[in-house]
Structure 1
Amino acid sequence: MSTITKRGNKYRATISLYGKGEYKRETKTFKTKEDANLWAMEMELQKGQGKNLAERSTLFPDFYENWVNTVKKDDVREATFINYQRTIKIVNDLFSNIQLKNLNDTVMQKKLDQYASTHSKKTTKELVLKIRASIKYAYARGLIATDFGSLIKPKGIEKEKRNVALAVSDFKKLRAYCLNNSNDEFNILVLLALETGARRGELLGLKKEDLYEYGVHIRRSISPTNDDTRLKTKHSRRDISINKDVFDLVSNLALDKEDYIFDWDGFHQATHLQTLLKKLNIPKTTFHGLRDTHASFLFSNDIKIDYISLRLGHNSITTTQNYYISLMVDKQKKHQQDADALNLLNDLSE
């Protein structure tokens, strides 16, 4: 039921709501009786469509925390769930007093822009993706009137990329050094990263039974933050072929191991990698940068993208194209390709 009450020069519309075992009332004041009636009719229509108007007064942070701990808990890997939990405090700080019914793309964009002013665009984008998913769920449950998530744009500070793909000359230098200094277990780990393009956690998750002639089975991933060994996606489960010389080194290393081939070493691989790169006078990069280097090398040598996608364990070729588009032309081939392109264009004027 809805009622319209005149209060001075304005009109107050009231609708009755029922949710979670109790009755509530929603009110809104308008300048004209016509506007009040239109709002009341719209609310009654939404009630008739099964919209959960009674819970629209819920604070967005309360809804988000409940969504993370119920909907997402069993829907994602443990490591991913931990990332979702970390965003609960961020959402609470940004939207502390905002109810679901008062949320829209303008309100949310303004709050997220505040966050973006002190965070990288990558970090902001990860937050926006999670919030978009929660908004989609809220809309499906009738808790908000529209699914405005797609209108929210991630902004942020553009930081220098850390996962830089090495030039071919540096790739060869690093690979040769690791091959010639295989007495150090860490060098074999770096060598295998360059050889396979596998993620660090996937390499640390290798066991004796994961070796085959000549290659490795990727069946698990080790995380420094939790005990979940599941792979990132179902497509991450794959077999990657490797050269015999690399296979022999990994196989010999595995002989003296009882379970995992590589020592996790307190997950200090990033620090060790920087030390090694500095020693060889190679530009800084990360373990994911070694993955990018592997992809870049294959791209630059005209290996088909569908094969590269399978080797990297991507969900689809589109993922490979979108993520590695900047790597499709190797730095040291670019100058020659620039010249070739200019020569072709020059021919048009002859």
Structure 2
Amino acid sequence: MASIIKRGKSYRAQISLYKHGKHSKISKTFPTKKEAQLWSLEMELAKGGGKELAHRNTTFADFFENWIYVVKIKDVKETTFQNYTRVLGVIRNLFKDIQLKDLNDIVVQSKIDEYAETHSRKTTHEVLLKIRTALRDAYARGYITNDFAGLLKTRGVNPPKRNKALSITDFKKLRKYVLEHPEDEFNLLVLVALETGMRRGELLGIRPENLYEHGIQVRQSISPTSVDTSLKSPNAKRDVSINKDVYELIQQIPVKENGYIFGFGGFKQSEQLAELLEMLSIERTTFHGLRDTHASFLFAQNIDLVYVSKRLGHVNIQTTQNYYLELMPEKKHQQDADALTLLSSL
């Protein structure tokens, strides 16, 4: 049974537990007797329902760490597991010594909102998804008494998009420059990115045996945080055609000692790209922005959507369509004009 003891101006509620021949107790202090009584009733009901109340004194951070190293490590790829370990750092920083018994939707939501103040909505949502999954696991195991994970929301705003597709004018300008300066290996890396829409890791994963006449077999991907070279998804395994000039330029690159064509360069390709674009007075973007540029350019030329989707290695066509929510400026202006012309002809 629960006991409530008055201590000064507060009330200490205590629950007795018995499991596997061992006795233990959990307690909590409240400012009023009514709150202590309500908590005691909740705990007794939970105990009667088989909830693992002894675990409620475990901190959420410790639970999350144990959960990812015992459960998730067996369920996900190494690269995905690395994301979980990074979220563990976030959780330790946010939740500190907060225990499972003190968690509810208001407490967790406040921590998520705190994180959102200095991070993008997308990054915050990725953290929230992992917290939700952990909380549902804790509830299923009886470590927390309420399933409130579904009440949690992602708030905040997204910063300006970094992966912005280049305009057709800048696309042609950049492509012309890197074609005319193949002596710099990085220029060829940019050229292949524009030519194929391959992801940065896929570009770095090109080996001589992946080259065939006027094409590249996408078979592995290099990550700066993992030795796992597997592709993002089964659909990412594909063959991507390239024109003769680009094919011949790639073949001239000396193969590195590790067997790959392009050097990893300390994975500083983003910084190198920023410098190149600044030199050419082209609006800044990322390697993924070059992938967006490739996709948007093909779409602007009315290339079949199914073909573009397969060329990019997308899971489905819907993913490909999402690339075109923001078209290249010139194409959008042309479609605006075409739309007005059609309306005027009615």
What TM-score range do you get, normalising by the shorter chain? 0.7 to 0.9
1:118/1:156 contact within 8 Å kept: no
TM-score normalised by length of structure 2: 0.85
- Tell me how far apart the structure 1 counterparts of residues 40 and 258 of structure 2 sit (CA, whole Å): 75
* Structure 1 residue 61 displacement after superposition: 0.8
Residue in 2 that maps onto 1:216: 216
Count of aligned pairs between the two proteins: 339
Residue in 2 that maps onto 1:264: 264
- Tell me how far apart the structure 1 counterparts of residues 97 and 276 of structure 2 sit (CA, whole Å): 50
* Structure 1 residue 253 displacement after superposition: 2.5
Deviates more, 1:62-71 or 1:147-156: 147-156
Q: Within 5 Å, give how 1:185-196 maps onto structure 2.
A: 185-196=185-196
Residue in 2 that maps onto 1:154: 154
Q: Within 5 Å, give how 1:1-350 maps onto structure 2.
A: 3=1, 14=15, 16-18=17-19, 22-26=22-26, 31=34, 39=42, 42-47=45-50, 51-253=51-253, 259-322=259-322, 324-327=323-326, 329-345=327-343
SS at 2:107's partner residue?
Answer: helix
CA deviations over 1:89-125 (Å, ceiling 9, x no partner)? 3211211232223322221111111121122323322
* Structure 1 residue 267 displacement after superposition: 2.0
SS at 1:73's partner residue?
Answer: helix
* Structure 1 residue 27 displacement after superposition: 6.0
2:221/2:230 contact within 8 Å kept: yes
- Tell me how far apart the structure 1 counterparts of residues 12 and 301 of structure 2 sit (CA, whole Å): 72
Amino acid at match of 1:79: T
2:4/2:37 contact within 8 Å kept: no
- Tell me how far apart the structure 2 counterparts of residues 115 and 80 of structure 1 sit (CA, whole Å): 21
Amino acid at match of 1:105: D
Cα distance, 1:338–1:148 mapped onto 2, change above 3 Å:
farther
2:296/2:328 contact within 8 Å kept: yes
* Structure 1 residue 207 displacement after superposition: 0.3
TM-score normalised by length of structure 1: 0.84
- Tell me how far apart the structure 1 counterparts of residues 310 and 145 of structure 2 sit (CA, whole Å): 41
1:278/1:284 contact within 8 Å kept: yes
* Structure 1 residue 40 displacement after superposition: 6.0
SS at 1:261's partner residue?
Answer: coil
Deviates more, 1:176-185 or 1:199-208: 176-185
- Tell me how far apart the structure 1 counterparts of residues 124 and 316 of structure 2 sit (CA, whole Å): 24
CA deviations over 1:58-115 (Å, ceiling 9, x no partner)? 2111101112222222433333333322222321121123222332222111111112
* Structure 1 residue 154 displacement after superposition: 2.2
CA deviations over 1:214-243 (Å, ceiling 9, x no partner)? 211111111223322222233322221222
- Tell me how far apart the structure 2 counterparts of residues 25 and 256 of structure 1 sit (CA, whole Å): 63
- Tell me how far apart the structure 1 counterparts of residues 36 and 166 of structure 2 sit (CA, whole Å): 69
Amino acid at match of 1:205: G
* Structure 1 residue 293 displacement after superposition: 0.7
SS at 2:19's partner residue?
Answer: strand
* Structure 1 residue 256 displacement after superposition: 8.4
SS at 2:260's partner residue?
Answer: coil
5+ residue gaps, structure 1, are none
Amino acid at match of 1:305: L
1:15/1:40 contact within 8 Å kept: no
